[in-house]
Structure 1
């Protein structure tokens, strides 16, 4: 019985794989996702071999990125489930819509039209996929406040 318990613990410990920070961007294309969906300051991540759920930890915080005029905020911890050409059950990513920050809940690749579709609840927004070819660098909040000021004054 003791051997069976040890075997079960060993199997369970293999269901979550940890990778180094440099591998996560190389993993995304294997799921038909662009490398630039995530910022460069990844400290670590885990990926479950059971259900493809993941947890990503950023090394610095706050993290703001601008994609094609769309302001995006990455929390220190990002979670979700990887699928081929999509990410579901997303938490830890927000997009600015007008003056509000809204949570991104899913991401889909629209290969036919060369777009990436971001879901915010039942709503969605498409951005050109080529915006996500390069891995973005995080900006600090001070820069984000400047974007907000410019958006408000236009």
Structure 2
């Protein structure tokens, strides 16, 4: 069964390699598992995306902004445009995603799947944090609030 799934993945990647492809919003979540990435890494409100098959770089546009999602107590902000490069089990050169750490928003620069431990590792420069992969099985909806709450907290503590 694993060989069949691998073969289908390779065939799908071959078809995509013919040129740069634009996809509709619902297809992006179905594409992620072909790269061994969970569907829920991205929020529900994808307007469109492109994938350059020359180097697997992608650009995603969200239909609404701002977009905040909470994963296992970790607040994540998605910009209107998200970019990066897809690899098998990883995303590199990420831009447009930030995570809240100690009341500060930091840019996520990479994402790796750790299948052995069932975790997803997020890189912020040279630092990283692992979250359970099961948190990313479900596609989450965006929430319009998040950053505003950070400012409220900061104002209250001054």
Do the two structures share a fold, i.e. TM-score over 0.5? yes
Aligned counterparts of 1:48 and 1:94: Cα–Cα separation in 2: 23
Alignment of 1:108-147 (within 5 A): 108-141=112-145, 145-146=148-149
Normalised to the residue count of structure 2, the TM-score between the two structures is 0.83
SS in 2 for 1:130: helix
CA contact (8 A) 2:103 2:150 kept: no
1:51-87 Cα deviation digits (max 9, x unpaired): 0000000000000000000000000000000000000
The alignment covers a number of residue pairs equal to 139
TM-score of the pair, normalised by structure 1: 0.85
Gaps of 5+ in 2: 1-17
- Counterpart pick for 1:46 among 37, 50, 73: 50
SS at match of 2:91: strand
Higher radius of gyration, 1 or 2: 1
Backbone CA RMSD of aligned residues:
1.8
Residue-by-residue CA offset, 1:8-61 (whole Å, 9 max, x unaligned): xxxxxx631000000000000000000000000000000011000000000000
Q: How does 1:4-153 map to 2 (within 5 A)?
A: 15-141=19-145, 145-146=148-149
Unmatched 5+ stretches in structure 1: 1-13
Tell me how far 1:99 sits from its aligned partner: 1.3
